[in-house]
Amino acid sequence: MLIMILPWIMLIVIVIIGGKCIYDFIQTNNVNQLFRMREGHFSIEIFIAMVVVYITIMLGYGMIYFILSLEGIVLVEHGELRQVSIIGSLIHSVYFSGVTLLTIGYGDIIPIGIGRLIAVSEALIGYILPAAFVLKVVQIGSRESRSRDE
């Protein structure tokens, strides 16, 4: 019973943490305090924030794939259905999530059914997320340059 509930609890926690990360990133005042940039220099804070958001999304989608595997919707490995242990399923789910999010797409693991739609949404996030971070850096830089000019 606990084995069936634990992934759902982990998914809820990851969604809450991910939502909080994205909310803090979007809020202009919080971002200006967290990410102080100096005239276009590389910001380690923004890089770390980007890594944390990527890891959160990867783990969240990994938990979705893992929950689907517990419900009988599986990932196909090398063109054939394989029965793996719960730990093996968790590892495959997180691996597939990372490969999909980072748009590498090796093709060694393929989703079935609704998993395909979920994989497409994750890949879309993987494409859009870098552009969102670049846009945020440009916005922060333009605000700081305007405030110095005034």
Question: For the whole model, what pTM was predicted?
Answer: 0.72
Residue 78 has φ and ψ, to the nearest 5°, of: 55, 40
Cα Rg, the chain, nearest whole Å? 19
**Which pLDDT does position 42 carry in this prediction?**
61
More confident residue, 48 or 7: 48
The CATH topology of domain 1-22+42-140 is: Helix Hairpins (1.10.287)
Q: Is the pLDDT of residue 122 over 60?
A: yes
The pLDDT tens digits for 18-43 are: 677 667 766 655 444 444 544 455 67
Going by C-beta distance under 8 Å and a sequence separation of 6 or more, which residues neighbour residue 104? none
CB 43 within 8 A of CB 37: yes
DSSP 142: H
CA–CA dist 24, 37 (Å, integer):
17
Q: How many helices (H) and strands (E) does the chain have?
A: 5, 2
Comparing 107 with 148, the larger pLDDT belongs to: 107
pLDDT at 149 over 70: no
- In this prediction, residue 95 carries a pLDDT of 92
Q: What is the pLDDT of residues 68-77, one digit of tens each?
A: 888 777 778 7
Q: What angle do CA 129, 71, 84 make, to 5 degrees?
A: 90
Segment 6-16 mean pLDDT: 75
